[in-house]
Amino acid sequence: DWTMGAYREEAVRSIREQIGDKKVICALSGGVDSSVAAALLHEAVGDQLTCVFVDHGLLRLNEAEEVVGMFRDHMNLQVIHAQEQDLFLGELEGQSDPETKRKIIGKLFIDVFQKYADQIEGAEFLAQGTLYPDVIESVSFSGGPSVTIKSHHNVGGLPEKMGLKLVEPLRELFKDEVRALGHELGLPASFIGRHPFPGPGLAIRCPGEITREKLDILRRADAVYIDQIRKHGLYDEIWQAFVAILPVRTVGVMGDGRTYDYACALRAVTSVDGMTADYYPFSHEFLGETATRIINEVPGINRVTYDITSKPPGTIEWE
């Protein structure tokens, strides 16, 4: 795509002009926007860029390893893997209110990011994957759950507070252009086409109190579900798909025994921007096969339901 090729060259030139020989930091989430922003920044200023990947213990199965592995080992970026699971899960213990959970995570995210950023001597710039729709609306989540400090946790003013200047190399682009640029920069297609993932992560897919046990079960069930969707060639038709673990145990039978385990709900929607959504019309065969696999492969789950609520009146997430 020659247009994106030209954009890339121009962006690299202007980033170099802005940054000079100074250092820049970037919060990397593994989402499309922050990934493309990081790859572009790296092309422009190389090791003057340091990325911070905040691991809040609410990520999907193998997600941290995949993201950090790709950027650090495969693309040679300097990535700090902030292992702060104990901090986040500790503060979230006993909390069941959705907005309280979000607030705790948002505040800790900022604290943690700041702590790691302070260790990078001489950093003067903060890079964000802000897109054009974010710029015109400046409403949180308007660009989907891309992880920029601002749209991710709805906390403005961080760069000023930290005394950093902002670099927003994607602010003229729409989502599909960001994907094209990511492709141009050599990011794998599997990364560029990923479903959005919310900043608070699995916390809002675990209604009620969060425990490590529930998170482990949820991660495994979600991995089986996404594997099913990919195997059936449906991933790209779906805007977002995930499992929510329900705060209820139900009775089941397995072999000669009685089970008393968690129920889960599968969610899959089509959407253009996340503002409205329709539930995805899976075949009964797909749903039956997926339920069987989850129950057989994930200890701790003995009942699988499918969420057929569209948005509105439902939301996409369960919290």
* Annotated binding-site ranges: 29-35
Query: Would you say 293 or 311 has its CB closer to ligand XMP?
Result: 311
Give Cα separations from 85 to 5, 59, 108, 202, 287 (angstroms): 39, 10, 11, 12, 33
Of residues 178 through 197, those in contact with ligand XMP by CB under 6 A are 196
Per-position x/- string for 82-121, each x denoting binding to ligand XMP as judged by CB under 6 A, each - no binding: --------------------x-------------------
By CB under 6 A, tell whether 198 contacts ligand XMP: yes
> C-beta of 186: minimal distance to ligand XMP in Å?
26
Among 42, 56, 60, 152, the residue binding ligand XMP under the rule CB under 6 A is: 152
Encode 202-251 in three state secondary structure. Answer: HHHHCCCCCCHHHHHHHHHHHHHHHHHHHHCCCHHHCCEEEEEEEEEEEE
Among 32, 200, 221, 261, the residue binding ligand XMP under the rule CB under 6 A is: 200
CA angle 176, 314, 242 (to 5 degrees): 60
Residue listed under structure tokens 């899959």: 268
Q: Which two tokens stand for residue 298?
A: 């994930």
> C-beta of 138: minimal distance to ligand XMP in Å?
15
By CB under 6 A, tell whether 143 contacts ligand XMP: no
By CB under 6 A, tell whether 129 contacts ligand XMP: no
Query: Would you say 49 or 204 has its CB closer to ligand XMP?
Result: 204
By CB under 6 A, tell whether 274 contacts ligand XMP: yes
Kindly report the number of other CB atoms within 10 A of residue 151's CB atom: 27
Cα–Cα distance, 265 to 291 (Å, whole number): 10
Per-position x/- string for 11-50, each x denoting binding to ligand XMP as judged by CB under 6 A, each - no binding: ----------------------------------------
Cα–Cα distance, 94 to 90 (Å, whole number): 9
Cα–Cα distance, 15 to 113 (Å, whole number): 22
Q: φ and ψ at 244, to 5 degrees?
A: -115, 135
Q: Which residues bind ligand XMP (CB under 6 A)?
A: 102, 141, 144-145, 152, 196, 198-200, 240, 274, 311, 315-317
